[in-house]
Structure 1
C-alpha cells in the first residue's frame, strides 16, 4: 500500500517535507540560541525549518540581513502567522507570539532564567522569560510549552505566571550539552584560534551599563598591553552590544587593543569555540559566566550587576563565590592564580539537566506528531572559529 503523501511538501519541493517548524527571532541572541538548538533536527528531511523576525525589540537592527547571511529561508511575519507551520520555537516569550496560528515552544535564550525582566526604567521583580507579562496575552497563556533548563525554575514560574506552570517542561540546556561535548576536542579549537601554547584569556561581557564592557570598557586594551607574548586575549560581546552599536563603532572603541593583538570574536555562533578553548575567563553576570563556571573554567569577575540577577539563582550563587578581578592590581598575577569557582559542579547541577538534546528532540517530535528518527540525538560539538 503506498505511503501517505507528505503533509507539507509543495509543488516545487524536492525534499519529502511532512512538517514545518518556524524559528522566531527578535534579537541576535535569540538567533544564536536557535542555531544552537536546531541541530537536534539534523538529517531528518521530513522536517523543514524557516525563520521569521518578530518585531518590537530594541536590538533587532539588521536581523533579517543576518538571517540571510546564515542562508536561512526567511518568511515575512504576515506569512509566518498563518497555517503553513506546525510548530514555532522562540527563545523568548516577548513579541507578538499570540498572533501565531500554531503551537509555540518557548526556550531560555541564555543559561537558564537568571536575570530579572528588563523594563524601560530598569528591571521588574519578575524572572525574565517566566513572567505573565511575557507569557500571557489578554488573559491567555500563549506558549503551548514553556521550556525550562532546570526543575528549580518551576518555582519562579508558579510564582510569576501560575497559569503557565502546567505547560512547563524541563528540557535542560542543549547549548551547555554541546559545550561539554566539545571539551575533548579542545586542542582543535585552540589550533583554529591560533592559540598554540599560549594561555588564552577570554573576556566576556553581557549587555547594559552594569556589564563588563559597560563598566570596564578599557580592560581589553589593558590586558593586551600588560600580558606578554605567551598570552592571547579574546573578547566576546553580547549580541545586544553588536546590535545597538554595530561593528564599526565597536572596532573604533577597541582600536588600540585590536592593533596589539586582541581577537574580537564575531557576533554570532563563535563565542562557544572561544569558551571551549579558554584557559581563563573574565566576565560578569552574563550567561557565559555560568557556562564557564559549570565547565570548570578558571573564572574572574570584572563586573557583576547584582541588581539584575534573580536572588537565589545559580547566577547569584556564582556571584557570591567567584573571585573578583582587581583592575588596579597586577593583572597577570591574578590571571595566573585564577581557579575554577568553588563547588562549580554544584553550580552545574543547580543550573542544568542531563540529556538536554535528547529531551528537546523528544519534545519537538511530540509537538509535531511525528515519530522520532531511529538515530540517537547526541549533542553536536560546536563550530570551530578561526580569526579572519
Structure 2
C-alpha cells in the first residue's frame, strides 16, 4: 500500500519505497528512541517524513537538528494535509488524532513508569498510558497499536483506558536488545572513554527535573573526582536530553568546567549514550530508564537520588529504586563504591530484566511486523539485522596539571625492598584534608599560581635538554625571580612556596633535584612517578647516595620499576 504522501513525489523520486511513514517527534528524547526503531524496518525501508509536534518545552532546535541528520521535516499543517501508511510516535498525545493514518505509539524509555501530572493531568498513571493522551474528545482511541515492553503494562492500560486495551502489543524493548547485543564491544568502548587497564568506570546518570541526580546531588560529580584516585577510577556523566534542552550546552559545560578539567568524561547532548552503560562498572543514578537498563545488563547500581514519587508504585523501576543500595552522597564515596562492588548483588541481571523486558532478541522483528501490518503489508521472511549501538563521542576536558597525591611505602631498611604506592587526585577538586599525608604536585603547565607556587613537587613533563632542565630546576628550588614564569629557567616570586623537589624529563629519562642539592638521574620517562617515589624515600630518611631500583604502583596489581643513579 502506498499513500498519497508517496504518490505526491513519486514522479521525481528514484528510490521508491513500499510504504510511507510519518515520524512525529516532540523532544530529543523521542528522536533518540526513534533512531533505533527505524533501524529495525530494514531491508525494505519506508519513505520517511518527520514532523515536530508543537507544544513541548524541550523542543528548541529540534526540527533543525532532524534536518541536519538528513531527514525531510514537514510543517504541522503539511503533515495534517496528507495521509500516511503509518504514523509513528514515541509519545501519546491527542494531537496525533489530527493526523491521517494508523498510529503506532511506543514508549520513549524502558516501558511506561513515569508519572508526569503537570503534562498528562494524571497523578496515578504513567505518561503514555493516560486515557486523555490516547483518545479523542469523542472517546475514539487514537493509536492502532500501543507497543509495550512487558505484558504487565497492559494492566495499567486496562485501568486507565480500558477501551484501548485491544490495541496493546507486547513487542519487547529494541534499545535493550541492542545494548545486550553490543556488549561484545565493551573493551572497545572503555578505550573510547579513556579507561585504562585496571581502572573502573563510574557512570553518573541523571534524568531531568526535581528529583534528578544533578538537581539533588549537584556536587556528586565533583566529590567523586576529589575522592576517587584518578588512576583507579574514571568518572563518566550521562544526562537526559531534557537536561540539555532546558539549558544550553555551553552553559552546562561551563558549570562543569572544573570537573571536566579534573578528568570528568561527558556524553554530550545529541550523541549516543548506550556505550556508557556497556562500559561502566558501576552506575550512580536516579529513577531514569538508564538505571534499569544498567542493572538489567549486570552493571552494579547505587541509588544517588530517589525520585520514587514520580514513578508508578510497584513498577519495575520503582522496585529497583526501593531495593537498591542508597548512596550517601555526602559520605565516603570511595568506601561505599568499593563495598558495593565487592559485595554480591541482591538480584541478578536476569531477575531484573525479566520484570520489564519480554520478547528479548525478538523485539526488532516484532516491531517491524507491527509497522508493516498497519501499512497493510506482510512481514518479511528474514528477521531484521540488529545493528550495534553507535560509537560514543565523549567530551574530555583539559589535561590535569596539578594534583594532590598520597604516597606510601612499605620499603624496609633499604630502598628497593618494597613498593611505593601512589594515589593521585586532581588538584582543582581534591581536598587535601581528606587525604592522610597528602602532597601537592604541579606541572610546569599549571597556570593557577595558587597551585603552581604552593606545591611540594614541581614537574616539567615536557622534555627539556639537560642544560635547560637544570636551569629550570635550580630556579625553582632557589626561588630566583624571573620576568616570565613560562620560560625555561623561570621561577616564582621570592618566597612563594616551599617546593622540595623539581623534576624534569630529558632525552635519556628524567632528573630529580632536591632542595638540599641532591640530584638523581632516573631511568624512566614518567617524571611524576620518579619524583614522588624518590621524594617518599628521601622524606622517610632512606639514603639515595648510591644506585638503586624503586618499585612503584599507581593501580592495585600493577607494579613497575625504575633504576636511579646519584648525579654530581
Deviation at 1:194, TM superposition (A): 2.3
Q: What is the Cα deviation at residue 301 of structure 1? A: 0.7
Q: 1:120 to 1:73 in 2, by over 3 A?
A: closer
- Aligned counterpart, 1:342: 347
Q: TM-score if structure 2 supplies the norm length?
A: 0.65
* Matching residue of 1:207: 208
CA distance in 2, matches of 1:191, 1:143: 43
SS of the residue 2:236 aligns to: strand
Per-residue CA deviation, residues 29-73 of structure 1 (Å, 9 max, x unaligned), is 11111012110013325x222211001111111111221232222
Q: Is the 8 A contact 1:299 1:341 kept in 2?
A: no
- Specify every segment of 5 or more residues in structure 2 that has no aligned partner in the other structure, as ranges: 396-568
| C-alpha contact (below 8 Å) 1:205/1:237 kept by paired residues | yes
Residue by residue, what CA displacement relative to the aligned partner does 1:253-308 show, whole Å, maximum 9, x if unpaired?
21211111211112234111111111111100000001011111011110011111
Give secondary structure in 2 for the equivalent of 1:89. strand
The aligned residue for residue 229 of structure 2 is 228
1:323-364: CA deviation from partner (whole Å, max 9, x where unpaired): 111112221222223344524422211100121111111111
SS of alignment partner, residue 234 of structure 1: strand
Q: Is the 8 A contact 2:94 2:135 kept in 1?
A: no
In the alignment, the residues of structure 2 paired with residue 121 and residue 357 of structure 1 have an alpha-carbon distance, to the nearest angstrom, of: 29
Give the Cα–Cα distance (whole angstroms) in 2 for the partners of residues 365 and 123 of structure 1.
33
The structure-2 alpha-carbon separation of the partners of 1:117 and 1:161, relative to structure 1 and needing over 3 Å to count, comes to: farther
Question: What is the aligned partner in structure 1 of residue 136 from structure 2?
Answer: 137
1:103-114 aligned at under 5 Å gives the runs 103-114=102-113
8 Å contact kept, 2:120–2:133: no
- Structure 1 pair 324–130 and aligned structure 2 pair: CA distance change class (3 A): same
Contact kept? 1:19, 1:86, Cα under 8 Å: yes
**Aligned positions, number:** 382
CA distance in 2: counterparts of 1:7 and 1:328, whole angstroms? 58
Q: Which residue in 2 is equivalent to 1:242?
A: 244
Q: Distance in 1 between matches of 2:63 and 2:346?
A: 39
How far is 1:232 from its partner? 1.1
Structure 1 counterpart SS, 2:163 = helix
- Distance in 2, Cα, partners of 1:42 & 1:162: 34
* Structure that is richer in helix per residue: 1
* Equivalent in the alignment of 1:178: 178
Q: Deviation of residue 174 (structure 1)?
A: 0.3
- Alpha-carbon distance in structure 1 between the residues aligned to 2:122 and 2:375: 36
> 1:80: how far off?
1.6
- TM-score scaled by structure 1? 0.94
Q: What is the Cα deviation at residue 95 of structure 1?
A: 5.5
Shifted more, 107-116 versus 333-342: the winner is 333-342
RMSD over aligned Cα, in angstroms? Answer: 1.9
2:355 alignment partner, SS class: helix
| Contact 2:113/2:127, CA 8 A, preserved across alignment | yes
Contact 1:293 1:341 in 2 (8 A): no
Q: Is 1:75 equivalent to 2:74 in the alignment?
A: yes
2:356 is the alignment partner of 1:351: yes
Q: Is the 8 A contact 2:292 2:320 kept in 1?
A: yes
Q: Does structure 1 retain, via aligned residues, the 8 Å contact 2:129–2:161?
A: yes
Match of 1:258 in 2: 260
- 1:18 Cα deviation (Å)? 2.5
Match of 2:28 in 1: 28
Residues 208-250 of structure 1: per-residue CA shift (max 9 Å, x gap): 1111111011211111222222211111111111111121221
Counterparts in 2 of 1:382 and 1:109: CA distance versus 1, 3 Å: same
Q: How far did residue 118 of structure 1 move?
A: 3.1
Partner of 2:95: 96
Cross-structure match for 2:324: 322
In the alignment, does 2:375 pair up with 1:368?
yes
User: Alpha-carbon deviation of 1:370?
Assistant: 2.2
1:101: how far off? 0.5
Q: Give how far 1:104 is off.
A: 0.6
Question: 2 CA distance for matches of 1:122 and 1:193?
Answer: 41
Counterparts of 1:195 and 1:76 in 2: how far apart (Å)? 44
- Worse overlay, 120-129 or 92-101: 120-129
User: Is 2:382 aligned against 1:383?
Assistant: no
Q: Counterpart of 1:3? A: none
Pairing 1:60–2:59 present:
yes
Q: Does the 8 Å CA contact 1:123/1:308 hold for their aligned counterparts?
A: no
Q: Which runs of 5+ in 1 are unaligned?
A: 1-5
